[in-house]
Amino acid sequence: MSYFGTDGIRGKFGELPITPDFALKLGFAAGKVLKRTSKKSKPIVVLGKDTRLSGYILEAALQAGLNAAGVYVHLLGPLPTPAIAHLTRALHASLGIVISASHNPYFDNGIKFFSSEGKKLPDELQDAINQELENDMVIEDTANLGKSVRVKDANGRYIEFCKSTFPYHLDLSHLKIVVDCANGAAYSVGPSVYRELGAKVVALYNDPDGLNINKDCGSTHPESLQKAVVEHQADLGIAFDGDADRVILVDKNGEQVTGDHILYILATQGRQKPVGIVGTVMSNMALEIALDKAQVPFVRASVGDRYVLQALDDKGWVTGGEPSGHILTLDKSTTGDAIIASLQVLTVMVEQQKALHELTDGFYLLPNVLVNVRLSQMFDPYTVPALVAEFEKAEQQLKGRGRLLIRKSGTEPVIRVMVEGDDLAEVTQLANSLADAVRANAI
């Protein structure tokens, strides 16, 4: 049995596999695999988390399991997911582990791994951990137990790393920025980065209590940020998700700037034009059209940063991402990083002395409607002939003017029905009717 999904292990806390006893065994299994595969006699694992209350319990369980297997653990505390990826490399650790369910509500949690290079865990290591989970926990010699230490300057290390991706001869002293921290992992380091680069910062949702992460805030709920930017007469707004690997921007007029906009800015107006851009099947058709006009190659990957990263590696490119704001700039970081992505856009703004809305002038997303159909039990809609016929009929209707995407969620029992085209009324009608058809044919 494989416990790993497209982005680590995720679920509701208290239900398998997100339970204290499973986390203990997972830590032990990962530790045993490291002991066998690492060249170091005492492998080091860095362990970080977001601000969920359940993170303290999972952290303790994972730590105990890793120590029991003879592995040393460096505890980082609440930090963005990309910070754990960076510090895995910086501290020469053999493995990085993040406890987070990203943009999900507080009652969910997850566990994901980074390799020693700060990248997604190779399949062979993931498979080895899965296999080790089938074995009993047997402690062979208490003299070989691992130890744990808390890294006291983890925040400062990551802040300096982020700042190093912004040109040293520039600053943000003329900008006022509203930062929505989603009551998540970047609640402290996020505002600090922009302040230390000279910006005047208004911080929102930076008071986590363990239960308010992502609650009506952050990149999935930017409405409060949009309002705050206008009220504070700020130059822009920046919204993170719970673990700060996604970013959504807001211009001074309160208009949302998505991941597609960010890729457009970096591809067409960045200081170094990228060789090519990797988007996903969810990327708006307008991005593809705009990049084609700018003569920047564009390819689509499956949804998920794992697949964007794989496509970038295959092409030898460095820039890619998703409309949700998961942006990869591999010349700066090994994984999606909300703070670093925002700094790349700020670099363009400062160098060109332009407001954010000026950088997106003339780039308009095609109307797009996404309907999430929640199921009691997942099924593949393409195995139902009646549904396939409905999908094909819709595709013919949109031919040359838009597109249709039906996909299963990788993290929950949901089928996502997305319709995109040049007519909002038509797109809305098609999305709702196709979603109704999926519900009617659900198991």
The 8-class DSSP code of residue 122 comes to P
Please list the helix, strand and coil fractions of the chain in percent, rounded to the nearest 5, in that order: 40, 20, 40
Cα torsion through 339, 310, 58, 141, rounded to 10 = -130
3-state secondary structure of 149: strand
Under 8 Å CB-to-CB from 334, ≥6 apart: which residues?
A: 85, 86, 89, 117, 118, 119
Q: Is 102 noted as a catalytic residue in this protein?
A: yes
Task: Say if CB 326 and CB 220 are below 8 A apart.
Answer: no
- 21 marked ligand binding residue: no
The 8-class DSSP code of residue 12 comes to E
Q: Is 382 exposed, middle or buried (0-12, 13-18, 19+ CB in 10 A)?
A: exposed
What are the beta bridge partners of residue 319? 277, 329
- Angstrom distance (rounded) from CA 254 to CA 223: 9
- 245 marked ligand binding residue: yes
- Angstrom distance (rounded) from CA 28 to CA 148: 14
- First-last CA distance in the chain: 24
3-state secondary structure of 138: coil
Residue 337 C-beta-side C-alpha neighbours within 13 Å: 30
- 243 marked ligand binding residue: yes
Which residue among 54, 102, 192, 342 is the active-site one?
A: 102
- 207 marked ligand binding residue: no
43 alpha carbon, distance to own chain's centre: 27
Taken as a whole, the chain contains a residue count of 443
- Angstrom distance (rounded) from CA 162 to CA 141: 42
Listing DSSP states for 39-90 in one string gives: SSSS-EEEEEE-S-THHHHHHHHHHHHHHHTT-EEEEEEE--HHHHHHHHHH
For residue 69, CA distances in Å to 141, 223, 242, 416 come to: 10, 46, 30, 41
- Angstrom distance (rounded) from CA 37 to CA 54: 30
Annotated binding site: which residue ranges? 102, 241, 243, 245
Give me the active site residues, please: 102
Annotated binding site for Mg(2+): which residue ranges? 102, 241, 243, 245
